[in-house]
Structure 1
Amino acid sequence: MPRTARIVLPNYPHHVVQRGHNKQVVFAAANDFEHYLADLQELKTAFDVKVYAFCLMTNHVYLLLAPGDSASGLGQLMKSLAGRMTRRRNKLEGRSGTLWESRYKSSVVQTDTYLLACSRYIELNPMRAKIVQRAPDYPWSSLHLRFNESPVDNWLDESPALNELGTTPTERLARYASFMEQEIPSSELQLLRGALQRGQLTGNARFTDEVEEITGLRITQRTRGRPTK
């Protein structure tokens, strides 16, 4: 079956997932998580990619990324992250071969409608997996970084959607915390998962028209609905 062409746009957020090859463990110890996050913090600057949210699970990663003026920065970042982690694990285990699935999945996200919902979806993964009872307690997610680190140590980029929640960092975080506690409709979960797995846009019909105009491509698969506010 031919692969669907991946749509990557400069200065737009992208929901990204990369999984271990055959669901194998990628992060076996705390040091593995720490090295990946250190690499992410370094490489986001090198390739001009903003990091709005992340969650590292044992055998996969979820990221919310926005490349700068060059769309190629997203692919360069993902390739470098995967390569560094593969070399690290192969050296530790005295092995060779691939660590990740060959192709990460991504979905361009409509900023004004879906960006907060996508961030919440990513950061609540440890709760859905029943690893923790409170999402901020999971140490390998951006939510932990938002609420447990000082502003000086928080290296996340603030998304446009988060920035609109208030006039001060304290106000924005309080409103985001309230948003995180709201019950998420199953339709929203299905929409976010489906768009990512199928490589579709995470957006409404207006957003699809916008992307078609930018890319000159006809996008026949369109996601429907919008998240509950």
Structure 2
Amino acid sequence: MPRMGRVLLPNYPHHIVQRGHNRQVVFVERDDYERYLLDLRELKDAFGVKVYAYCLMTNHVHLLLAPGDSLAGLSQLMKALAARMTRYRNRLEGRSGTLWESRFKSSVVQSDTYLLACSRYIELNPVRARLVARAADYPWSSYAQRLGSEPSWLDGDPCFDALGDTDDERRSRYCAYLGQSVDDGELSLIREALQRGQLTGNSRFVAEVESLIGLRIERRGPGRPKIE
């Protein structure tokens, strides 16, 4: 039975992880993180991609991105981000060669059910890694932007916007949401969907995507989704 490649869909959010080549360190100094975020802020508009959440770790990045009608923008954005960061680090270190793994991991996310859950998963990554005690203490994730008083360059997350009628109400409810204990099943679903290139969603969502792409997606054990 043939294996199915990575599923990418226009106008759907995607949970993306890109790692340093051989898990090498990508971000060392404050300037490294700031450079990547400046590029992300600039290039998202250039390629028509929405940014709902992000977290930059020392050797990888988590992003929650949604391309528009042009699906090519998502891959172009990731390629441009990787190329800019590679040139920047190679210049600093007087070296040549690749900085990132050649292929990023991705999972299409069910908006109404898992968009907020994926944002929480991404922004709590430094807490799970025991780098900080609270998400608010980590400066390189979207949490500070989402809950800060300054205008944010994040795109409007419809699930976050639905948390309340005012900015203060939405921030308060999202903060409480991050403070809740996360169900192990939710963690496993998000983590395994990303690792296996599957969908982050329920059976109804799987059926919806099957109808869109005209292929049968079957959840199995380790490995990518398969076509029947």
* Pairwise TM-score range, normalised by the shorter structure: over 0.9
What is the TM-score normalised by the length of structure 2?
Answer: 0.93
What is the TM-score normalised by the length of structure 1?
Answer: 0.93
Distance 1:163 1:217 in 2: 33
SS at match of 2:218: coil
SS at match of 1:6: coil
CA deviation map 1:138-159 (0-9, x unaligned): 11000012223512xx100121
Identity of aligned residues (%): 67
Equivalent positions of 1:96-175 (< 5 A) are 96-151=96-151, 154-175=152-173
CA deviation map 1:87-113 (0-9, x unaligned): 111111111111001100000000111
Distance 1:123 1:207 in 2: 24
Distance 1:40 1:178 in 2: 28
Letter in 2 for 1:206: R
Deviation at 1:222, TM superposition (A): 6.6
Check 1:39–1:3 CA distance in 2 against 1; reply closer, same or farther (3 A cut). farther
Equivalent positions of 1:177-188 (< 5 A) are 177-188=175-186
Distance 1:3 1:94 in 2: 41
Distance 2:53 2:135 in 1: 13
Deviation at 1:3, TM superposition (A): 6.9
Q: 1:36–1:81: 8 Å Cα contact kept in structure 2?
A: yes
Distance 1:94 1:5 in 2: 36
Check 1:98–1:149 CA distance in 2 against 1; reply closer, same or farther (3 A cut). farther
Deviation at 1:183, TM superposition (A): 0.2
Distance 2:220 2:157 in 1: 24
Letter in 2 for 1:125: N
Distance 1:52 1:164 in 2: 14
User: What does residue 87 of structure 1 align with?
Assistant: 87
CA deviation map 1:25-84 (0-9, x unaligned): 000110000000000000000000000000000000000000011111110000000000
Check 1:87–1:149 CA distance in 2 against 1; reply closer, same or farther (3 A cut). farther
RMSD: 1.4
Distance 2:80 2:107 in 1: 20
Distance 1:4 1:101 in 2: 20
Letter in 2 for 1:148: G
Deviation at 1:187, TM superposition (A): 1.5
Flag the structure with more relative contact order, 1 or 2, with Cα contacts below 8 A and sequence separation at least 6.
2
SS at match of 1:158: coil
Runs (5+) with no aligned partner, structure 2? 222-228
- Confirm whether residue 69 of structure 1 aligns to residue 61 of structure 2: no
Structure 1 outlier segments of 4+, above 6 Å = none
Check 1:222–1:114 CA distance in 2 against 1; reply closer, same or farther (3 A cut). farther
Distance 2:149 2:168 in 1: 13
Deviates more, 1:3-12 or 1:64-73: 3-12
Distance 2:220 2:22 in 1: 29
Equivalent residue in structure 2 for 1:192, among 168, 190, 193? 190
Check 1:109–1:213 CA distance in 2 against 1; reply closer, same or farther (3 A cut). same
- Confirm whether residue 46 of structure 1 aligns to residue 46 of structure 2: yes
Aligned residues: 220
Equivalent positions of 1:12-31 (< 5 A) are 12-31=12-31
Distance 1:36 1:217 in 2: 36
